[in-house]
Amino acid sequence: MKLHMLKSALSALLVFGSVHTTPAQEISAMQAPKVVSPEVGPDNSVSFRVFSPNANEVTVNGSWMGFRETLPLTKGEDGVWSATIDPLPSSMYHYNFFIDGVSAIDPTNPEALRDGTRYASLLMVPGAGASTFELNKVPHGNISKVWYQSPSLESYRRMYVYTPPGYDSGNDKYPVLYLLHGAGGDEDAWSALGRANYILDNLIAEGKAKPMLIVMTNGNAWQTSTLQNKPGVETITRENRAQFQGKFEESLVKDVIPYIEKNYSVIANKDGRALAGLSMGGGHTITASIENPGTFGYIGVFSSGIFDANADMAELEKKFTALKASGVEKYWVACGVDDFVMDSNKRLLSILDKTGLEHEYHESAGGHTWANWRDYLSIFAPVLFN
């Protein structure tokens, strides 16, 4: 900048971000004295701190703990509550404080995550375990929030589309992974918590995965987008939910795939289409693939399975046999040993065995967690489109 007279003034203005009496942007916080939280030690132990001279009790719950478990923080003489936990494996975690029982994101941590209707603070413990999904110094693909018409759901809906590095600059045709979230999530989940875009950026840079698009839809058929129900559906109850069953899977095949294949430079056949999902999205994956044999060449079911213990296995066998006959390149299943869906998962494995549908099974430690789903994607993506 050559304009000398604006320099000092701009410099003053640039500081507003850290001057709490005159924030240049608007969200105000009655700022506590400076504390550092979270702080990751050289040994990967983690300290949490929050300032409150007046609270009676401060606790923390993190994704490395049980859902209902909490760890108490201890109050220091300066009014700062703190707790240090044992070293964590290098990975991505999230946590909430509870100030006298009220859930709060860490007010000094600038990075929060959104999972459906909840927010939590991000904790990244660096090292090998986090490198697969960190924002590394590699070429990045772009994510677009794309609106499309869904005649099957009679609504105008939103999805996220990841296009790999180089997509805009060439005329190549790319394969597509349709990647489905679980219950409680939406089209935001696989990038916000799943970091699918960074996982693919990193795998593609290392030559471990083929460049591909990832299409991340909203699997809640009554929603048009995050938090927005379709017109006419004000609240969702067990009763009106029933009318949407199977509808999302139908819209995926009838609306989403044609939209993508019309508007993007992609391979428009089974060998260029993969479908995978976690939990409820794994259920959607199973249904959409057996109801539409010959549509997807690659199928991934994460932490899911045949949920109904009383399912008509004979009818299911017929469908899986037809799916097998349609030519599946890869059927990939993963579940954590502690996952509460293990029985459902086993029912899926047994039907795959019975029908002789060749598959790979990856059993991991842990349960129904994003840590596992990020891992599963980073193992699954490399086997696609080979």
Q: Tell whether residue 176 is a contact of its own copies (CB under 8 A).
A: no
Nearer to its own copies, 80 or 385 (CB): 80
Q: How far is the CB of 386 from its own copies (least distance, A)?
A: 27
Q: Tell whether residue 25 is a contact of its own copies (CB under 8 A).
A: yes
3-state DSSP assignment of residue 386: coil
Among 291, 357, 359, 382, binds its own copies (CB under 8 A): 291
Footprint (CB under 8 A) of its own copies, residues 202-221: none
Among 5, 34, 128, 151, binds its own copies (CB under 8 A): 5
Among 37, 46, 94, 345, binds its own copies (CB under 8 A): 94
3-state DSSP assignment of residue 58: strand
The two beta strands, 213-216 and 176-180, are: parallel
Nearer to its own copies, 264 or 298 (CB): 264
Among 39, 78, 168, 353, binds its own copies (CB under 8 A): 168
- 262-287 burial: b if 16+ Cβ within 10 Å, else e: eebebbeebebbbbbbbbbbbbbbbb
CA distances to 55, 98, 115, 384 from 67, in Å? 23, 13, 15, 34
Q: How far is the CB of 210 from its own copies (least distance, A)?
A: 20
Footprint (CB under 8 A) of its own copies, residues 52-91: 52-57, 61, 63, 67-68, 70
- Give the span between the Cα atoms of 284 and 300, in whole angstroms: 11
Across the strands, what pairs with 48? 83
Q: How far is the CB of 331 from its own copies (least distance, A)?
A: 17
Nearer to its own copies, 85 or 383 (CB): 85
Which region, judged by CB under 8 A, interacts with its own copies, from 177-185, 203-211, 265-273, 293-301? Answer: 177-185
The two beta strands, 360-364 and 330-336, are: parallel
Q: Tell whether residue 266 is a contact of its own copies (CB under 8 A).
A: no
Output the six-digit token pair for 268: 């428009």
Q: Tell whether residue 128 is a contact of its own copies (CB under 8 A).
A: no
Per the CB < 8 A criterion, the answer to whether 269 and 275 are in contact is no
Among 227, 325, 337, 365, binds its own copies (CB under 8 A): 227
- Give the span between the Cα atoms of 281 and 271, in whole angstroms: 21
Q: How far is the CB of 2 from its own copies (least distance, A)?
A: 7
Q: Tell whether residue 34 is a contact of its own copies (CB under 8 A).
A: no
Q: How far is the CB of 271 from its own copies (least distance, A)?
A: 25
Among 42, 43, 102, 207, binds its own copies (CB under 8 A): 102
CB atoms within 10 A of CB 383: 15
Which region, judged by CB under 8 A, interacts with its own copies, from 51-59, 84-92, 209-217, 349-357? Answer: 51-59
What number of helices (H) and strands (E) belong to the chain?
11, 20
Among 193, 213, 252, 276, binds its own copies (CB under 8 A): 193
Q: How many residues make contact with its own copies (CB under 8 A)?
A: 122
The two beta strands, 118-125 and 112-115, are: antiparallel
For residue 327, the Cα-to-chain-centroid distance in whole angstroms is 29
Nearer to its own copies, 3 or 386 (CB): 3
Output the 3-class SS for 310-377. CCCHHHHHHHHHHHHHCCCCEEEEEEECCCCCHHHHHHHHHHHHHCCCCCEEEEECCCCCHHHHHHHH
Among 103, 131, 240, 350, binds its own copies (CB under 8 A): 103
Footprint (CB under 8 A) of its own copies, residues 310-349: 310-312, 315-316, 319, 340, 344
Q: Tell whether residue 258 is a contact of its own copies (CB under 8 A).
A: no
Burial class (CB in 10 A: 0-12, 13-18, 19+), 296: buried
Q: Tell whether residue 10 is a contact of its own copies (CB under 8 A).
A: yes
Footprint (CB under 8 A) of its own copies, residues 363-382: 368-370
